[in-house]
Amino acid sequence: MSRAADPAAAGRAGADTPQRADPRPVLAVNAGSSSLKFGLYPATGPACFAGEASGLEPGGRPRWRLAGGPEQALDIEPQRTVGALPALGGEGPAVAAAAQAAGAAEGAGAAGAFDAALQRLQATVVDHAPQGLLAVAHRIVHGGAQGDGPQVLDDAALARLAALSPLAPLHQPHNLDGVRALRAAFPDVPQIGCFDTAFHAGQPEVERLLPLPPARTEAAGLRRYGFHGLSYAYLAGELAARSARWAGGRALLAHLGNGASLCAVHDGRSVASTMGFSALDGLMMGTRSGSLDAGVLLYLLAHGDDAASLERLLYRESGLKGVSGLSADMRVLHAAAAQGHAGAQRALALFARRLLREAGALTAVLGGLDLLAFTGGIGEHDAAVRAGLVEGLAFLGLRLDAQANRAATGDTVCRIDAADSRTEIWVVPTDEGRVAARQARALCAASGPDRPERS
């Protein structure tokens, strides 16, 4: 078994699994190039603990923080490996040895700082879930054409997903390293992939097409997908529970974080998004360019760049960081712009302009707007970016409650539109891990008393 009973519904999942759920928690993991974000989710409600190991990149400063707690340095003990701790469920030394061997064989992600983070995570999970885990749910950015619902990550699935790495080079290789490492750390627990692309799987065909000859796109699998789907699925659930205008309504969801995208939602379903074939399209981001005239790429290729240098430029050296010449972090840019830093001012202006242009385009696709919602690190915290977009859309009748906007700091769901606004405006702190955990639990439940086979 490799799919949920209703994959599309799992992709849009808006509610936790109700009564008679397996009491064991699900560990949700989001492994990136430099961080390992995690949360332990009971059958209903938010994570009972969540946290992040960061600074795991080569030469980084490894750190560990549980939500609500202080940041600590993460000690690295080079001799210890993932399997050295007792595996959950008390399988003992044999499993530990197998895990150690698997970790060594699979190599990636099982050494140094990442290994230390896993050690710490494993010990924390043992403390918080003495009854063991139901599953480990992995946020995987790209699910490809088959990624329309959660899947057990066996060797075949990992091989298929690894082939998608060039489409999401900042994410996919690290997501899959995380799967291999967690599989070594918890060898008796099903590893389940939950895809950013799944929420968009039902978009109309016209949104999937690229304006290229079908002979070039179809065989090569060139099409648009859309990303940040776990985040959008979370917002869908929160807004459905709070807004009478969600059902049947036209909503623009803005996930503005390090990666940034917009999603047009009609009657709860994704109908268009700014990200497409890769997580490079659409809005300007922390270090990614977003949409770029293809003529620029042709010019650069003809004048000394190659695929590798363009990948570096477009994914890592552009966006807020590249334009400002200073930082990918909005907080740094606001502070610098206020001191007169021209690069920071230019980056903020371009970010806002790109956001407005794309918002206008998706609003046109929707034929109007009933609801606008912000999430992601910038969307949840940056009142100035939110105000800028709402001012730009004022011609549609959007009005902000300035005080509510300033007060919304990403701690809780807030409504920030003024009484005379024609459109509801919300700030919704996202929880991608909760959606991944929910999807993994649904997949386990759909497989009946027999859990999904281990990977």
Looking up tokens 């959660």 gives: 150
Strand-pair partners of 136: 27, 191
Which string of DSSP letters, residue by residue, matches 265-306?
EETTEEEEES--SSTTSSS--SS---S--HHHHHHHHHTT--
Structure tokens at 438: 């929910």
User: Does residue 257 interact with Mg ion by CB under 5 A?
Assistant: yes
Per CB under 6 A, the list member of 196, 358, 380, 382 interacting with ligand UVW is 196
Q: Which of residues 158-177 bind ligand UVW (CB under 6 A)?
A: 171
AA letter at 132: G
d(CA 88, CA 81): 15
User: Does residue 227 interact with ligand UVW by CB under 6 A?
Assistant: yes
Give the three-class secondary structure for 425: strand
Residues within the annotated binding site?
30, 37, 139, 255-259, 329-331, 377-381, 432
420 is catalytic: no
Neighbouring residues of 173: CB distance < 8 A, sequence distance ≥ 6: 108, 162, 165
Per CB under 6 A, the list member of 279, 328, 389, 442 interacting with ligand UVW is 279
Catalytic-role residue among 196, 382, 401, 431:
196
Residues within the annotated binding site for Mg(2+)?
30, 432
Which one of Mg ion, ligand UVW, ligand ADP, none interacts with residue 279, CB within 5 to 8 A by kind?
A: ligand UVW
User: Does residue 141 interact with ligand UVW by CB under 6 A?
Assistant: yes
User: Does residue 259 interact with ligand UVW by CB under 6 A?
Assistant: yes
Q: How far is the CB of 67 from ligand ADP (least distance, A)?
A: 13
d(CA 347, CA 342): 9
Q: Which is nearer to ligand ADP, 148 or 380 (CB)?
A: 380
AA letter at 105: A
Per CB under 6 A, the list member of 2, 151, 191, 258 interacting with ligand ADP is 258
Q: How far is the CB of 153 from ligand ADP (least distance, A)?
A: 21
Q: How far is the CB of 32 from ligand UVW (least distance, A)?
A: 7
Which one of ligand UVW, Mg ion, ligand ADP, none interacts with residue 328, CB within 5 to 8 A by kind?
A: ligand ADP
Neighbouring residues of 178: CB distance < 8 A, sequence distance ≥ 6: 29, 30, 31, 36, 109, 138
Pair 112, 76: CB distance under 8 Å: yes
Q: Which stretch binds ligand ADP (CB under 6 A): 81-89, 135-143, 328-336, 414-422?
A: 328-336
d(CA 135, CA 451): 9
Residue nearest to Mg ion (CB): 257
d(CA 99, CA 87): 9
Give the three-class secondary structure for 65: strand
AA letter at 342: A
50 Cα distance to chain centroid: 15
Q: How far is the CB of 259 from Mg ion (least distance, A)?
A: 6
Q: Which stretch binds ligand ADP (CB under 6 A): 163-171, 242-250, 273-281, 374-382?
A: 374-382
Residues that bind ligand ADP (CB under 6 A): 257-259, 286, 328-331, 376-378, 381-382
Residues that bind ligand UVW (CB under 6 A): 141, 171, 196, 227-228, 257-259, 279
Residues tagged active-site: 196
